[in-house]
Amino acid sequence: MNYPHPSIAREGWPFVGGSLLLALLASAAGFWPSLAFWLAFVFCLQFFRDPARVVAGGPRSVLSPADGRIAVVEEADDPYLNRRALKVSVFMNVFNVHSNRSPIEGIVRQKWYSPGAFLNASLNKASAENERCALHLRTPDDRDVTCVQVAGLIARRILNYVEAGTSLAAGQRYGFIRFGSRVDVYLPLDVRVKVVIGERVLASSSVLAELG
Q: Pick the closest to residue 137 from 112, 154, 116 (CA basis).
A: 112
Q: How many CB atoms lie within 10 A of CB 158?
A: 20
Task: Give bridge partners of residue 178 from the DSSP assignment.
Answer: 157
Q: Residue 79 and residue 52: Cα distance in Å, rounded?
A: 32
State yes or no: is 19 an active-site residue. Answer: no
Greatest CA span in the chain, whole angstroms? 63
Q: Which residues contact 134 (CB under 8 A, 6 or more apart)?
A: 80, 111, 112, 113, 114, 146, 147, 148, 149
Q: How many CB atoms lie within 10 A of CB 178?
A: 21
Which is it for strands 144-151 and 61-63: parallel, antiparallel or unpaired?
Answer: unpaired
Single out the catalytic residue among 181, 204, 205, 206. 181
Q: Are 176 and 100 in contact (CB under 8 A)?
A: yes
CA 34 to chain centre: 32
Q: Which residues are catalytic?
A: 181
